[in-house]
Structure 1
Amino acid sequence: MKNKTRWLIITVIVLALVAGIWRALASKRVQKEAAAAPAAVQTHIELANSDVLTANMREITQGLAISGTVKALNYAIIKARVAGEVKDITVREGDAVVAGQVLARIDPTEYQRRWQQAQEQAVAAKAQMDIAQRQWDSNQSLVAQGFISKLASDNSLASYQGAVASHKAAIAGADVARKSLDDATLVAPFAGVIALRAAQLGERVGIDAKILELVDLRQLEVEAPLSPSESIDVRVGQVAMLQLEDRPSFVQAKVQRISPSAQTGSRSVMVYLRLDPQQGLRHGLFAKGTLGLGKHQVIAVPLSAVRSDRPQPYVQVVEKVGERFQVAHKNVVVGVTGIDLAQPEAEPLVGVTGIAAGSTVLTGQVGALREGLAVTYTTAPAAAASSASAVAK
């Protein structure tokens, strides 16, 4: 019984091994047959209207990427011109002011007293001058009559001239004291909006301490640094389309001024572009966009539509062959790259030669397709072509 059981177990093990080997060989055979079988070839693709566009003759602007900061043409930091305690501040951030409006006052008590003192000194000097003048006039008569010497007359003249000089000095001192008193009142140098209030009531400030910041939002410009090589092609009057703080909308700016020299250290050349007045523009915003350097009339397609996975660049077009549409590859020569200033938010365009105006071009989002692949549209071909033309325009 023991021998029979042993042989039975051995037989079961051998059969299990044989079955496993057979299944492995069968699986490999199936894999080889699957690999040897020809792959299914795609013969048809369906496209949406947004997958195609019409390549037309268009005006594109060759551009230079720029970025910079929006700054007010008139911007002032209002500082204390005299030291003292801030007695009054009449404005806060965001308040609109007019030229000459009183913005703040520094305690004028000390400066009023100094002005009064200077005025009294000027009055005293005037009295001394009058006395010296009468003395000199009297001595002139006495000299003519021979009662006093010429030396005494000259001395009285010198005293009179000294008194005149002292009077003028006293008047000048009074003017200086009056200016210090006037400087205790801070006024707006131009109309604008308060951007910053840096001092508070009761605070004691020194000379040149910042009190307020004032900006005039009616005239704004973008200060953009360029490398010396980029600045060579920039001219006054060129137009740029800019985005402010990555907003989807664009604003137009025009080159107003160009710095005549490169900055020390950074070697950058500053270019100033005047912004058209618009609601919501603020001093200090970040701006970026494209500065138009030159315009070209070319057959234009989106830059992504030009494929470079072959030795020569090409575009994929849809051609009508008989009664059906199919994909064709057209080699092209790439020209200038730029943007359409009428649609600055659109993809960059590139001028190409090698395709005819009116050709239906596949966009870059479609990807690479086999040449000769049959094409159908989600709508009628006529409607698709019309929609593609509208997208291109």
Structure 2
Amino acid sequence: MKKSTLWILSAIAAAVLAAGGMRLLNPRPATTPLDTPLANTASTVALSDSDVVRVQAMDMEMSLPVSGTLKASQSAMVKARVAGELLDLTVREGDRIKAGQVVARIEPTEYQARERQAQQQADAARAQVDIAQKQFDNNKALMDQGFISATALQNAMASLNGAKATHMAAMAAHDVTRKALDDAIVRSPISGQVAQRLAQPGERMALDGRIIEVVNLSQLEVEVALSAADARLVRPGLHAQMRIEGLEEPVTAKVLRISPSAQAGSRSVLVYLGIAGEEGLRQGLFAQGSLGTQSQRALAVPLASVRTDKPLPYVQVIDGERIKHLTVQTGTRTEKTHNNLTLTWVEIQGINEGAQVLTASAGAVREGTQVKFAPGVR
């Protein structure tokens, strides 16, 4: 072996021995293997009475969302039945009136003159009937004595019948003018309140010109449009809870009738809900709520307790002393009162009755977190 090669090998061996010596003099500290499990460092959460609710069995009503505008069941648009100048219109919006009450008048001079004219024509026709009747009686007597022929009597009979027909026509014309005179007095057809005043005294009214609108607020209706599938679940007599703008408390509505035909284009079916009139209800207010179609017994929790920040909905259940995330299936929703608060409850499957579930006030809690209860909660 060459001398230079020997020196290179010697140098390498010396370097290896030096590195081993340094390793022995300065050993590395022991490290935790990667597969060694860490100690459980789960935190603890304190819960109050408002943070926990129990799964309850309750009657769940299957309901349909409904909305519409309040409308008086009885309303009337009072119009002018004859043309003329409007007189004596004194009622205004909000005034209460009764059925048959005089609310205005149309200038009657022209109609009074027409009525007198028709009466005089009827009197003249009546006089012609009397003349024709006397003529007929005289001819009948002469024919009985053989002085005139039967043809002359028949002519007298025809004249009498013509006079009677003319008189009846004159009487009919008199009835028409008398009705027009009566129509000059404008009366309300229903009892209620004046909703609109659409004309002013002294204004020239055309035939069927609108004068006032009257509404009866003792019974109100809401017209609701439902799909054909939803309408199959509805029948007269069902009840709905409606919230009306301006009112704090909901009101109860009842299905009065269902339209027998669908609307053209939308194919929706109109359902009419009745609401008893009360203070604060006005025609034209917007109403919305839910119409109960059927009821069933089921387990339920407040809707806010069901969390959806995972692929499947789940609830946070107290299992022993720790939190457990339990996947559930939801169903029908309804409104119920809990702790003096009206909450939306949802039907739930995959959990036992009486289980303790965290409410929305507890927030999101990591699974496995230990729980601690305030005194008196459990």
1:288 matched residue in structure 2: 288
1:361 and 2:366 are equivalent in the alignment: no
Match of 1:371 among 364, 367, 370: 367
Alignment of 1:108-147 (within 5 A): 108-147=108-147
Tell me how far 1:364 sits from its aligned partner: 3.3
1:9 matched residue in structure 2: none
8 A Cα contact 1:299 1:352, kept in partner: yes
8 A Cα contact 1:337 1:348, kept in partner: no
TM-score (norm 2): 0.84
Tell me how far 1:341 sits from its aligned partner: 6.3
Deviations 1:10-33 (A, max 9, x none): xxxxxxxxxxxxxxxxxxxxxxxx
Task: Give 1 or 2: higher helix fraction.
Answer: 1
2:90 matched residue in structure 1: 90
Unpaired stretches in structure 1, ≥5 consecutive residues: 1-37, 386-393
1:66 matched residue in structure 2: 66
1:352 matched residue in structure 2: 348
Q: 2-side partners of 1:189 and 1:51: how far apart? A: 60
Unpaired stretches in structure 2, ≥5 consecutive residues: 1-37
- Residues 376, 247 of structure 1: CA spacing in aligned structure 2 closer, same or farther, 3 A cutoff? farther
1:8 matched residue in structure 2: none
8 A Cα contact 2:42 2:370, kept in partner: no
Deviations 1:141-179 (A, max 9, x none): 111112122222111111110110011111111110011
**Secondary structure of the equivalent of 2:284?**
coil
1:204 matched residue in structure 2: 204
Q: 1-side partners of 2:116 and 2:88: how far apart? A: 23
RMSD: 2.2
Tell me how far 1:320 sits from its aligned partner: 3.9
Q: 1-side partners of 2:176 and 2:265: how far apart? A: 42
Tell me how far 1:233 sits from its aligned partner: 1.2
TM-score (norm 1): 0.81
1:240 matched residue in structure 2: 240
Tell me how far 1:311 sits from its aligned partner: 4.4
**Secondary structure of the equivalent of 1:167?**
helix
Alignment of 1:1-393 (within 5 A): 43-245=43-245, 247-321=247-321, 326-334=322-330, 336-340=331-335, 346-377=342-373, 379-380=374-375, 382=376, 384=377
Larger radius of gyration: 2
8 A Cα contact 1:55 1:359, kept in partner: yes
**Secondary structure of the equivalent of 1:340?**
strand
8 A Cα contact 2:247 2:280, kept in partner: no
- Residues 342, 310 of structure 1: CA spacing in aligned structure 2 closer, same or farther, 3 A cutoff? closer
Total equivalences in the alignment: 339
Q: Post-superposition, which runs of at least 4 consecutive aligned residues in structure 1 deviate over 4 A?
A: none
Tell me how far 1:352 sits from its aligned partner: 1.4
Q: 2-side partners of 1:41 and 1:82: how far apart? A: 92
